[in-house]
Amino acid sequence: MKYIFVTGGVISSLGKGLTAAALGTLLENRGLTVTLQKFDPYLNVDPGTMSPYQHGEVYVLDDGAETDLDLGHYERFTNTSLSRANATTSGQVYKQVLENEREGVYLGKTVQVIPHVTDEIQRRIHALAESTKTDVMITEIGGTVGDIEGLPFLEAIREFAQEVGPGNVCFIHVTYVPFIKAAGELKTKPTQQSVAKLREIGLAPHVLVCRCEYPLGKELRSKLSMFCNVPYEAVIEEKDVEHTIYEVPLMLQRERMDDLVCQTLRLDCPPAQMGPWQDILRRMIAPQHRVRIGVVGKYIELQDAYKSVYEALKHAGVATDCGVQIDQIEAEEVEKPGGELLLKDLGGILVPGGFGDRGTEGKIKAAQYAREKGIPYLGLCLGLQIATIEFARNVLGLKLANSTEFDTEGRKTPDPVIHLQETQRHVKRKGGSMRLGAQECVLKPGSLAAKLYGKSSVMERHRHRYEFNQDYRARFEAAGLSISGTTLNDQLVEMVEIPTHPFFISTQAHPEFLSKPTRPHPLFVGFIAAAHQRLHKKAI
Ligand code: GLN
């Protein structure tokens, strides 16, 4: 096994995860098997309890792990399938060390950051290597070099590199080279200082990936090479992409980053075959058709809150040769009088997942608009619950229908068409306690769901506490809301649709987590095709 460690310098949000994932794409296309893991220095056990304002999207894996959105990049850019073992936080490390201490594992010793915390970090690297047995493991260290909380991770990878020896480890430092407008120049000093900080800890990067808005040029590359102590050709320019993040692997390939990594790791493998990836990119950049999709959510101003949803829409665009323009619509704005104007001229309306009642009335209004006007609608998780509430209110005439999630003291809905799952009623602790991960859903023969998936049963990832209330099922079905997917034992409703509508479908799952550019998700593909048909009055 060969090990690549990716650290970040100067500022956060540089796209370290994307760089790691794009390197993964290149290595896989050179015939290597790859796994990727993320180390996050915060003390939460996982990001599941954090607000999207703190953390962006929580990305869910098959095994139910709630993880950082970078794992989404890893899965979208490579063929690797990830598990709980691929996401470690300081919280998990300390929890384990403290449990060990109570068990008596360190009997007689003083428990310390070095060696106990750093050993536990290294144990996790070894454990993942052992369980995946891939050729290469890429480990991304979250945060920025210089952060106090990141230190144990940096010390751990230094010790680890010492143990596995040269030729088996490659350190990549992703850094920022800012352009100072007043001086009209790119500046290397922050990078020099960040590398100095790394060297203080005993880490010397083999590769320097420079995020920048303008080309570095020969002079700056030489300067960075000299002062950061890396060979000239190991200074990699990673400019902001022009069109899409899926350009990054090709950009890094042009800079010969994968050659460099393979040399450092003494891996002898052919150049990356990027033909199919280039085809995908061509379709993304110059599509034949165009559609406009409205995503009605409550964290719209955050770029990262619905990351996987936005990506899945773009992947579906590749499959249908459609450029997808995404209108990010704030649900609370839709609630206001005249708010439906925001929904005008859309090819399709998507309501993504969410928690809490802020903005729900706007989402309900959007679902009603889609249903009544024959606009394609795709509901994801909360989006299914919203579609159900809307149907109950406006078709079944249950004017006060709602989800018990939105009940407040003194205001309880008389018609809880969405309610807490039976298995959730005793749950007190918030962390990791939702219905999580891959669950089987059986599809109704002849339904739109069965047609789109082309299967009779599917596995999709979940993250929810509430469900469709089966007491109302007969009434819904009689009025034209078809239950097109359920769990095996028919206990939970997984999918609903309106067969008389051109395209109205919702799922309790999060299909966005299974979409890749190389494998667009059938629900999203169907949605984009339907949106195209609505806008252009012809099928693709
Ligand atoms: N808040 C809803 C529930 O817990 C929906 C969750 C979601 O959209 N992920 O069931």
For ligand 1, atom 1: residue with the closest CA:
355
Give the CA distances from residue 140 to residues 5, 7, 121, in Å, rounded to whole numbers and listed in that order. Answer: 6, 6, 13
**3-class secondary-structure state, position 39:** strand
* Segment 92-105 mean pLDDT: 97
* Catalytic-residue membership of 510: yes
Q: Find, among 342, 319, 347, the residue nearest to 331 by Cα.
A: 342
Dump the DSSP string for 214-281: S--HHHHHHHHHHHHT--GGGEEEEEPPSS-GGGHHHHHHHTTHHHHHHHHTT---PPP--HHHHHHH
CA of 331 to the centre of ligand 1 (A): 16
Task: Note the CATH number of domain 288-420+466-484+491-539.
Answer: 3.40.50.880
Q: Give residue 497's identity as a one-letter amino acid code.
A: E
CA distance 539 to 191: 52
CA of 344 to the centre of ligand 1 (A): 27
Q: What are phi and psi of 464, to 5 degrees?
A: -160, 160
- Assign a CATH topology to domain 2-33+89-278: Rossmann fold (3.40.50)
Q: Give residue 212's identity as a one-letter amino acid code.
A: C
CA of 466 to the centre of ligand 1 (A): 6
Amino acid 408: pLDDT = 86
Amino acid 536: pLDDT = 81
Mutating to test ligand 1, I would choose from 360, 466, 494, 513 the residue with most ligand atoms within 8 A of its C-beta, which is: 466
Mutating to test ligand 1, I would choose from 465, 468, 469, 492 the residue with most ligand atoms within 8 A of its C-beta, which is: 465
Q: Find, among 324, 312, 319, the residue nearest to 348 by Cα.
A: 324
Domain residue ranges of the chain, discontinuous segments joined by +? 2-33+89-278, 288-420+466-484+491-539
Helix 275-285 / helix 307-320 crossing angle, nearest 10 deg: 100
CA distance 346 to 344: 6
CA of 506 to the centre of ligand 1 (A): 13
Amino acid 5: pLDDT = 98
Amino acid 539: pLDDT = 74
- The predicted model scores a pTM of 0.95
Tens digit of each residue's pLDDT (9 = 90 or more) over 163-193: 999 999 999 999 999 999 999 999 999 999 9
Amino acid 373: pLDDT = 96
CA distance 285 to 243: 7
CA distance 33 to 86: 15
Amino acid 242: pLDDT = 87
| Annotated active-site residue in 120, 311, 330, 512 | 512
Give the CA distances from residue 9 to residues 172, 173, 190, 374, in Å, rounded to whole numbers and listed in that order. Answer: 11, 7, 8, 50
| Residues in Cβ contact with 91 at an 8 Å cutoff, skipping those fewer than 6 apart | 42, 43, 44, 45, 46
Q: Give residue 500's identity as a one-letter amino acid code.
A: T
Amino acid 490: pLDDT = 86
Which pLDDT band holds residue 212 (cuts at 50, 70, 90)?
A: very high
| Percent residues over pLDDT 70 in the chain | 100
Q: What is the mean pLDDT of the chain?
A: 95
Other residues' Cβ atoms within 10 Å of the Cβ of residue 428: 5
* Catalytic-residue membership of 512: yes
Token pair for 327: 């209108």
Does residue 537 carry a pLDDT above 80? no
Does residue 398 carry a pLDDT above 90? yes
Residues whose beta carbon lies within 6 Å of some atom of ligand 1: 353-355, 381-382, 405, 463-466
Which pLDDT band holds residue 81 (cuts at 50, 70, 90)?
A: confident
Does residue 146 carry a pLDDT above 80? yes
The answer to whether 2-33+89-278 and 288-420+466-484+491-539 have equal CATH topology is: yes
Q: In what order do the strands lie in the sheet with 466-468?
A: 402-403, 416-420, 466-468
* Segment 470-482 mean pLDDT: 97
Other residues' Cβ atoms within 10 Å of the Cβ of residue 121: 26
Which pLDDT band holds residue 275 (cuts at 50, 70, 90)?
A: very high
Q: Find, among 95, 64, 94, 93, the residue nearest to 433 by Cα.
A: 64
